[in-house]
Structure 1
Amino acid sequence: MNIVIQKAITIVGSQKELARKVGVNQSAVSKWLCGGGIRSQYIPALVDATDGKVTTEEILGSLVSVDTQNPNECAA
């Protein structure tokens, strides 16, 4: 699980609300949460959605560290 995306979800209140603020659908946020790649065009919107409480550096760092996390954490 991407803990930075989880932090962003917690800040805004839900996956659906984060998706609305970023301009994607909820399934995109769910994929990000489970370690899916985040297109660079959405990074500034993620920072804005959290009023800067999640930074570009945190997001980029989380994408690098996802490889070392348990890939089955988001499995249903």
Structure 2
Amino acid sequence: MGDLGIARNPQGPSSSYDPAEPGQPKRAHRGGSFLRTDQCCPRYMAGTRGQGDPRTASDHLGFRCAKPAPMPAGS
């Protein structure tokens, strides 16, 4: 089966630009956190997007591990 235009291991942009802080490196932060509850932290919802310093470390900022699904038999 062809590629179908699906991104493989997308890395995102190699550089960034924030008009509020030109010259400062940033990386995308995509939502989801164990801190999220109905009473607290709406900015940590799964659909939230933001940016921050690439060297940021936080006890609630993580990453996703993923691996390709096996190809169906006969593909």
Give yes or no for TM over 0.5. no
TM score, norm. by length of structure 2 = 0.23
Larger RCO, structures 1/2 (Cα 8 Å, 6+ apart): 1
Structure (1 or 2) with the greater helix fraction: 1
Larger radius of gyration: 2
**TM-score where L is the length of structure 1:** 0.23
| Bigger share in strand | 2
